[in-house]
Amino acid sequence: MAKKPSFLNDLNERQQKAATHTDGPLLIVAGAGSGKTRVLTYRIAYLIEQGKAHPGEILALTFTNKAAREMKERIQKLIGDEAKKLWMGTFHSVFSKILRFEAEKIGFTSNYSIYDTDDSQNAIKQILRENNYDPKEIQPRTIHRRISDAKNQLILPGQYKERFVHSTLDDITARIYGMYVERLKHNNAMDFDDLLIKPIQLFSEHEDVLEKYQDRYKYILIDEYQDTNHAQYKVTNMLAKKYKNLCVVGDDAQSIYSFRGADITNILNFKEDYENAVEIPLEQNYRSTKAILKAADSIIKQNTGQLEKTLWTDNDTGETITVLDNYDERDEANRVANYINELKMRKGYQFNDFAILYRTNYQSRVFEETLRRKGITYQLVGGLSFYQRKEIKDVLAYLTLLSNPDDDTNLLRIINEPSRGIGNKSLHDLTSTARQTGQSLWRILKNVEDANLYKPAENSVKEFVDMIQELKADLKNNVSLTDVTKKLLKKSGYMKSLVEENSPKSMTRRENIIELQNAISYFEKNTKNPKLSSFLQEISLITDTDKYDEDKPAVTLMTVHAAKGLEFPVVFVVGLEEELFPVGSRNYEDVNIEEERRLFYVAITRAEDQLFFSHCRSRYKYGEEKPMMRSRFLDEVSSDVVRTETGSTINQNKSRFSNGSSDSEYDGNTKVEYDWKKPLYNKNNRNSNQGTTIHYDNPDEDPFQVGAKVEHSVFGPGKIINRTGHGERTKVVVFFKDRGRKTLMLRVAKLSVIG
């Protein structure tokens, strides 16, 4: 047996056990700050050192490019340049590379375009208009969200119509879904969801291809497994089926992405899905003080259906958590800024030691204004991405056309940008011809003399086609991407139009385009065999977190969702008010309170040394000042570690959101009444034909709790993963293996408990 590597001495006993368990399925339940990245990197290094696998036989999947880079750098320090041969990256980046190699087997070419959300919505908008729907009434964003949800549940267009057509919008979605899939194929394009579901199609239709990648990836590791959706679960299950060496790392307490399809049951049911799976909990926290950890533990323990673990730490007890009680959002921002300046002077913190975390992006505005006024530098993570700005999207559309001229969506974006005399009627006629003949718009443009256009428009089209052909020829003749981009900007007249506009806005756009040119130049100088398609793929997969610079001397502003995986010495969790955090309405019927609580847990565990909770008594909404009530989470957190600014304990009311309660809380100057209906209990006739009877003499007898396995007459077997409301208004979220996640009104759902 090979000698035990000395680097394992850096790990504690549990971490060593996880890193050296090499054969068979393994679930590492890694609590916040427990060193999961270290365990993953050391496990990969151990596999290579022990000769269990060559670097090219290991596949490591993460959720951010930043995490993948960090892991690869750490592994390289342990084992040297062998780490460069690892297949490591986000799900989307890894599978997009596989699809580049295998695209022709499923009817695409290797230079396919990758559509981001904006591109997808533009394609849907075009389809809506072509079918005489008004995009202002039937919003492309809504249709795209529904299609994305269906794709992530592996529901195809034909199946969508069978399962979901219950309303006019369902019917329209079903129609547009099928057309959208055809349009993507026609454009030789895939959207983000396709990067996960097309590999499943590939592996299902070509067993030889599946076996090739099963043999290539003998060991598979997945980070943040609690954030995987059904498609990610399915594709990794297919790859791991032969050798079963699947190691997943995650924390069910940090599952916060159900809104984009993440399915917490993937981690909760791992040991059921993989026979003989070993579970190893990592419970020692290296990040936070005892006080912060106690606050986090007191919150998360109130959720149900969790994997067993209790975090502990050898760190100092630390300071108690301070609650800031503010008059309004401006007062809140001002006081947070004052605390930052005070702590910086008194304790020697730097600006990049501070993070301000909020529930929704719009909350950043007041903090930005206040920090600027007080001369505090900051970086905003989230909001409008650099690569989503109009001028950047325009230039990228030109470049995409050079790589994939059959991409109608990007072609239509820039054929008359800047204006070159090709009017809407001409474009309509050209597009109609393309649709009727089944050809790409580019092919119609190349033969524009057959289209009977107005002569000046025809000449403009010919000039446009000649320009694109010339630039494509330059690329083929190995002219650098940097020079081709410069030529494109000149010949298209794009930069000239911004110069002629001569406004502050056009100046900013020119600066942004220059920055894009810098990015292209950097890519070209630092990439082996740089190709345009590779550059377009790389930037299409950039996430908000990838743009976070931890070394920048600036306070970080970001949502709690964006902060996941990061840590800061001092954290301010702001906007802790009902309707904001937890988000939702005062009816609380549609609030996934357990996920909101997990989100609060994530916010707490970002802090290393000092933590502040902040709430407002009033807040401006829709132009009016509205009274606010502090978040229920401030009543749920352990009172032992939370203090007001004066050092006194906070006045908590832990029962104000209990089922059947009728409470009032005097918060500030506003008295808010809560009059909850008491649930009716009657244990007669539990399985009526009208639905799922939920009336019991004793609520403890109610079998429809989180974790219960149930059967539905249409959807089949499933598992309850969340429950909200009470009495007649009780709703449950059920994950059905074959149908995905469904939210059901319990009294009419026709569920029965099984198993």
Catalytic choice (41, 173, 236, 254): 254
User: Was 240 annotated as part of a binding site?
Assistant: no
Instruction: Please list, in sequence order, all residues whose beta carbon lies within 8 angstroms of the beta carbon of residue 589, skipping any fewer than 6 positions away.
Output: 724, 725, 729, 731
Pairing of strands 662-667, 670-675: antiparallel
Report d(CA 575, CA 359) in Å as an integer.
7
Catalytic choice (119, 224, 297, 408): 224
DSSP, res 486: H
User: Was 31 annotated as part of a binding site?
Assistant: yes
Q: Is 208 a catalytic residue?
A: no
Q: Is 408 a catalytic residue?
A: no
Instruction: Please list, in sequence order, all residues whose beta carbon lies within 8 angstroms of the beta carbon of residue 146, skipping any fewer than 6 positions away.
Output: 173, 177
User: Was 455 annotated as part of a binding site?
Assistant: no
DSSP, res 305: S
Catalytic choice (223, 353, 406, 702): 223
DSSP, res 275: T
Catalytic choice (16, 20, 37, 693): 37
User: Was 32 annotated as part of a binding site?
Assistant: yes
Catalytic choice (14, 36, 218, 630): 36
Report d(CA 136, CA 125) in Å as an integer.
10
Report d(CA 187, CA 409) in Å as an integer.
8
Report d(CA 602, CA 355) in Å as an integer.
13
Contact 123, 185 (CB under 8 A): no
Catalytic choice (66, 287, 359, 606): 606
Report d(CA 243, CA 496) in Å as an integer.
58
Which stretches does DSSP call E strand in 535-574?
555-559, 568-573
Q: Is 85 a catalytic residue?
A: no
**Is the peptide bond between 569 and the residue preceding it cis, with omega within 30 degrees of 0?**
no
Strand (E) or helix (H) holding 282: strand 278-282
User: Was 34 annotated as part of a binding site?
Assistant: yes
User: Was 534 annotated as part of a binding site?
Assistant: no
3-state secondary structure of 626: strand
- Helix/strand number for the chain, H first, E second: 28, 24
Q: Is 400 a catalytic residue?
A: no
Instruction: Give, rounded to a whole angstrom, the gap between the first and last alpha carbons of the chain.
Output: 45
Contact 358, 347 (CB under 8 A): no
Residue written as token pair 């070419």: 109
* Region of residue 429 (left: phi > 0; alpha: psi -120 to 50; beta: else): alpha
Contact 451, 429 (CB under 8 A): yes
User: Was 253 annotated as part of a binding site?
Assistant: no
3-state secondary structure of 719: strand
Contact 317, 289 (CB under 8 A): yes
Q: How far is CA 575 from the centre of its chain?
A: 22
DSSP, res 712: E
Give the helix ranges, DSSP H, for 65-116: 65-79, 91-102
Contact 692, 748 (CB under 8 A): yes
Strand (E) or helix (H) holding 751: strand 751-753
Nearest to residue 258, comparing CAs of 659, 596, 583, 6? 596
Q: Is 394 a catalytic residue?
A: no
Instruction: Please list, in sequence order, all residues whose beta carbon lies within 8 angstroms of the beta carbon of residue 274, skipping any fewer than 6 positions away.
Output: 25, 244, 246
Q: What dihedral angle (degrees, nearest 10) is formed by the CA atoms of 520, 521, 526, 530?
A: 60
Instruction: Please list, in sequence order, all residues whose beta carbon lies within 8 angstroms of the beta carbon of residue 416, skipping any fewer than 6 positions away.
Output: 422, 423, 427
Contact 171, 202 (CB under 8 A): no
DSSP calls for 375-398 = T--EEE-SSS-GGGSHHHHHHHHH
- Residue 663 tokens read as 């409470």
Q: Is 224 a catalytic residue?
A: yes
The C-alpha angle 532, 535, 536, rounded to 5 degrees, equals 85
Which stretches does DSSP call E strand in 534-656?
555-559, 568-573, 607-616, 618-621, 624-627, 642-644
Nearest to residue 90, comparing CAs of 110, 62, 117? 62
Which stretches does DSSP call E strand in 425-574?
555-559, 568-573
Pick out the residues of the known binding site for ATP: 30-37
Pick out the residues of the known binding site: 30-37
Residues identified as active-site:
36-37, 223-224, 254, 606
